[in-house]
Structure 1
Amino acid sequence: MVAIDLQQESVNFLMQVKRACADRGFSLDALARASGLPSDDLMRFFDGLALEEHQVARLCEVLNLPSPPKRVSVVQQIRHHWESRIQAQCGWLKVIGHPDPVPLESLFVSPPVAHPLRPETNLSLPGLLREVPHWFLTGGVGMGKTTLLKSLTLACSAGMLLPHMVPMLISLPDLAAAGSSVKEYGAELFAQWDVPDHRVFESLLHQGRLLLLFDGLDCVPLGQQPHVIRMIRMLAVQYPKNHLVVASGNPDHGVYFEQMGELILPDWSAPQILSYAERWFRYRGQMELWEQWQRSYGGDRHWQELCSRPLLLAHACVGLEQHRVGGTWLVEEAVHLLLCRWPEVGEGDGGEVVASLAIATYEQPQQQWSWATLCRTLKAL
């Protein structure tokens, strides 16, 4: 049980420190002055929370204590214990028109990100997270914000990104519905995932060992958005060593996070579109359709513009695979489904309509004006 390991990890060392302080007549303030460690960190340590490795080493030096035996870190214990849970939470994608969840690793293409003040075209959020800890991420409907956050969660869990941290993907609509503070909600999530000691979450938060990925700010009810925004801002100020990403489909939310870097998910380029399509048809065992896709993509400007949005790109792949054909009414209906009812669309008629959209004008060239109208509508969001 993870909770037992976490509680026992530093108890012996804590007792040694208390005895050494008593022998030397050290108060907490005196120990802080002698060691150079923050009084708040030492106070939490005496209350039972773990210290960072360099802080432990400093106390051993000041108090002339033997170094405690090396243990598997708290972060490693939690990540190992949560591995299957995080895979279940983040390892699958739902594609409308396709009946079963699809493994993220089979389809994921690292998306481009744009920084308002940096002209580079090869920026990636994982790389930027190593440089700057706090980011606001925005992008239009269907640009892959949630998918990107899922990939970051998986990469951190596997130790490939920020290996000294524990990742948490937090739905902001769920946080708002719970009526809790971020600290309370985080501790509740830890308890649900078999780490019931609230001090563990608090310790990791104070030490800056959390990668907090907040998703769906624009989906929080309007009346609750100011409160949720204030909570995130306060958390970033109070615990600046943690890494944060706040994702919203509303770029206007960026003004509330001026202390963070801002990133935008732009349209996908041809290499990314083709990479995703190849992955899809390879996953489906339909490589003959991949060849057909390349021909259709290369010869139709409207097709290229539509597929620059990942959500519609996924539907285009499904539509071509299923060979569905529709009329011009599909365009208006699909826009309604994608923009107004995306969370509600299931696998029934709505999903079939969206899948059909992908080849509506591929089969009917006279409908090209519909593709142009659709592209303008989506790009105007």
Structure 2
Amino acid sequence: MVKRSLQASSIGIQQAKKAFARKGWTQENLAFEVNLKTRQPIWRFFSGKPVERHTFMEICSVLELDWQEITVEPPAEFIDREEFTQPSVPDIDKLVQQVRSQRFDKIQDQCGILQLLDISRPVAINDIYIDLNILEEIASQQYLDITELQNLDPKEFDRFGLGESNQRQISGMQAVETYSKLRVLGKPGVGKTTFLQHLAIQCNQGAFAANQVPIFITLRNFAEESKVTNEFSLLNYIRQEFLTSGISDPSVIETLLREGRVLLLLDGMDEVLNQQSISVLSEIRRFSEKYHKNHLVATTLARNLLVDS
């Protein structure tokens, strides 16, 4: 069996303490970064005591350390089995394709079919999707001095969001291809969720971002589950999501995220209850900063979402 805990060697502890010092954090800061409720596992880690293996690997990731190099006698199960090894850069493409294959049916089931209210049978998203056109700038967030506003010609009102906007639009796909971090704002019913589902299916079928793994998350579901577990951790939520596709090794997800091979689609920030939105927003900020190489698209009604385009 795979060991459920790991511990740092004396040399590994020295390396970890140096990496920790470079961060300039307290143990409480590190515990927050690893999504721990207390700093006891952090204390155990630096004391060379056994730490639950997922937590141990996450601490090493945050400190930018190779967990296998600082561990006392890394278990053979991690070394001998391919799924537990950290793939080299040339092997990352193989890992991506393997995970895409294992996740293919789940993404098709999750995002490929819509049930419309006025149609008795399910409809494939590819049969009804029309490309979404969006504005690159939010007209109502353009500002004028009061003197400029007083002298503004009524014909120019549209340009500043005071009437119908006539700004140049671009296709949703073009926007996603242009920006690695994108927030899509819009009123209910304009097709934000369908757009994310379309992106997931296009990625799943290799028509878009064929070198990435699509992950579609309904933020309302994430918030509800996090409230039950009292742990707002996107990483752990994704781990549970991957388990449904038969992927149980946490190092696979960590490797994909670290190498920037994930297309993360977050839907419906506005559907999260007010008392939970701060926790969800904070976690998305932390996650997107930590795994900044990845592609992230989020939808919301609100205009205060964390992710800058």
CA distance in 1, matches of 2:239, 2:62: 24
Alignment of 1:22-171 (within 5 A): 43-44=66-67, 46=69, 48-53=84-89, 73-116=94-137, 121-171=168-218
> Given the alignment of the two structures, is residue 193 of structure 1 paired with residue 240 of structure 2, yes or no?
no
Contact 2:220/2:268 (8 A) holds in 1 = yes
- Kindly state the Cα deviation for residue 122 of structure 1 after the two structures are TM-superposed: 5.0
Is residue 213 of structure 1 aligned with residue 213 of structure 2? Answer: no
In the alignment, the residues of structure 2 paired with residue 104 and residue 137 of structure 1 have an alpha-carbon distance, to the nearest angstrom, of 19
**Cross-structure match for 1:226:** 278
1:139, CA displacement in angstroms? 0.8
Following TM superposition, by how much is the alpha carbon of 1:126 offset from its aligned partner in structure 2, in angstroms?
2.6
Instruction: Report the 3-state secondary structure (helix = DSSP H, G, I; strand = E; otherwise coil) of the residue aligned with 1:211.
Output: strand
Q: Counterpart of 1:125 in structure 2: which amino acid?
A: G
Q: Deviations over 1:145-200 (max 9, x none)?
A: 11000010011112221222100000101111111410110111011211011221
Residue 184 of structure 1 pairs with residue 239 of structure 2:
no
- 5 Å-filtered alignment, 1:320-335, equals none
Structure 1 residues without counterparts, runs of 5 or longer: 1-26, 30-37, 57-69, 262-381
TM-score normalised to structure 2 length = 0.61
Q: Read off the aligned partner of 2:189 and give its amino acid letter.
A: G
CA distance in 2, matches of 1:256, 1:224: 14
CA distance in 1, matches of 2:305, 2:103: 32
Counterpart secondary structure, 2:133: coil
- For 2:268 and 2:261, the matched residues in 1 are separated by 23
- Distance in 1 separating the partners of 2:138 and 2:191: 22
TM-fit CA distance, 1:44: 4.4
- Say if 1:77 and 1:41 are closer, same or farther in 2 by CA, change over 3 A: farther
CA deviations on 1:27-55 (whole Å, 9 max, x unpaired) are: 989xxxxxxxx9966614657552452xx
Deviation of 1:127 after TM superposition, in Å, equals 2.5
Higher fraction of helix:
1
1:260 lines up with 2:281 in the alignment? no
Report SS of the residue matched to 1:73. Answer: helix
Measure the CA separation in 2 of the matches of 1:260 and 1:190. Answer: 27
Q: Which runs of 5+ in 2 are unaligned?
A: 1-13, 17-60, 72-83, 140-165
1:49, 1:203 within 8 Å by CA — same for their partners in 2?
A: no
2:294, 2:178 → 1: CA distance? 13
Structure-2 change in CA distance of 1:115 and 1:43 (3 Å)? same
Aligned residues with identical type, % of pairs = 27
- Distance, in Å, in 2 between the alignment partners of 1:104 and 1:163 is 19
**Contact (CA 8 Å) 1:191, 1:198: kept in 2 or not?**
no
Shift of 1:218: 1.0
CA distance in 1, matches of 2:127, 2:172: 20
CA-atom RMSD in angstroms? 2.8
| Inter-partner Cα distance in structure 1 for 2:92 and 2:284 | 33
Quote how far apart the aligned CAs of 1:211 are: 0.8
Change (3 A) 1:71 1:52: closer
Separation in 1, partners of 2:266, 2:178: 19
- When normalised by structure 1's length, the TM-score is 0.50
